[in-house]
Chains A and B, each alone.
Chain A
């Protein structure tokens, strides 16, 4: 059997692969849109003067980071629906439960990691920057907007981009609960076509191309907006 990638990239097999690829991208984008605001809230909790909020933020981050993503998927897909009231559970099963549970698990997991990046980004701006801005007559919000946040963004974005790369790779684990993303479709094509080498080569390439794209965006950003010495 000669090696021929076109077999798994055309016709019905090609359609499955494309659907999986698009769902993986969709999962990444939706999770990113939900995880970043959540991470910001958790980071602000961790920096809060209130001990209760700080404790809650710490528990969220450590509790989630120290459990494998696979177990998050198993819990949210097989375990959590049992705890839901009847109506909500039925709604879930009527609305693509695999994708919803995958987004929940990925969002919580990604947010726990991003929260730490946002926190250290905010902390990287020395307090005298804010004090100096206030002394020059800027209001609190104006000093935040014009002095602190622009500097913090330069520090925070590169690690957030590398978390996005992890997120992209992590979507593959959703295959355990049957979310029809790229890895799931690859297994399906492999089983139907008996073309293991071709299927996995095409899938690896698809993952790599997006990974390279994300890495390049990160490098471009760092070149265009380098961290300035404070």
Chain B
């Protein structure tokens, strides 16, 4: 096993880079972070539409979210793989295909997190803001969203872990992220599949377990500061 790591660690971490395209664990991280970063604005817009009072926003977005959540991610990846080139008119790289599929898929999931975050803020907050003369938009962006987003932070860390795990599906369309690289290494070594895939599993574990722990620590730090719980002088004294 030591020999295996000794021979292939660089390939495992960055793929063929710098002689070829970047791959391996580095690509997994970049893809995961980029997908979540781009899915956030989409999820925010979809979530606002889902929480809206207007049916013309709420219903079509509700249908989209429902369809995406009822479909396997792999199906979304295949749709992107076959139809992005047809729509854009030129060949789409595996990275772009994966990124597009992950952004759409995670956008739909984040929409539900955003909606739950907005609806988790007590209605008195909106009523107060409106009574003070703020418009719906001002109340939403200045009062509700800042609190909702802070409450959502732990869920977002959880979503990052999920997204990193989902990038492994790039393997199926031949994207050279870390799972694909591991199978390439396995094909070269031939005799040690159990060792190669155990190292791959341990790598994901270290990454995702570390992140989930960080997320839980964050949750603990933020709890007690959530809205609706107004610290009273008595509670602060105690």
Q: Which residues of A contact B (CB under 8 A)?
A: 62-63, 65-72, 74-75, 78-80, 82-83, 165, 169-170, 172-173, 175-176, 183, 186-187, 196-197, 200, 203-204, 207-208, 211-212, 215
Given A66-B161, A170-B72, A212-B70, the answer on whether A71 and B201 have CB atoms closer than 8 Å is yes
Cβ proximity bits B67-107 to A, threshold 8 Å, 1 near / 0 not: 10111111100110011000000000000000000000000
Asked if B168 CB lies within 8 Å of chain A CBs, one says: yes
Bound CA–CA A33/B32 (angstroms)? 33
Q: Which residues of B contact A (CB under 8 A)?
A: 67, 69-75, 78-79, 82-83, 161, 165-166, 168-169, 171-172, 179, 182-183, 186, 192-198, 200-201, 204-205, 207-209, 212
The interface residues of chain B lying within 8 Å CB-to-CB of A79 are 193-198
Q: Are B200 and A71 in contact (CB under 8 A)?
A: yes
B224 CB to closest chain A CB (Å) equals 21
Q: Are A215 and B70 in contact (CB under 8 A)?
A: yes
**A contact patch SS:** helix
Bound CA–CA A65/B71 (angstroms)? 21
In chain A, what residue has the closest Cβ to B202?
Answer: A67
Tell me which of B71, B171, B195 contacts A70 (CB under 8 A): B171
B89 CB to closest chain A CB (Å) equals 17
The interface residues of chain B lying within 8 Å CB-to-CB of A207 are 70-72, 75
Q: Are A175 and B168 in contact (CB under 8 A)?
A: no
The interface residues of chain A lying within 8 Å CB-to-CB of B171 are 70, 176
Q: Are B75 and A66 in contact (CB under 8 A)?
A: no
Q: Are A211 and B70 in contact (CB under 8 A)?
A: yes
In chain A, what residue has the closest Cβ to B200?
Answer: A71
Having A78-B183, A83-B194, one finds 7 other A-B pairs with CB under 8 Å, namely A62-B209, A67-B208, A71-B201, A79-B198, A169-B70, A183-B74, A200-B75
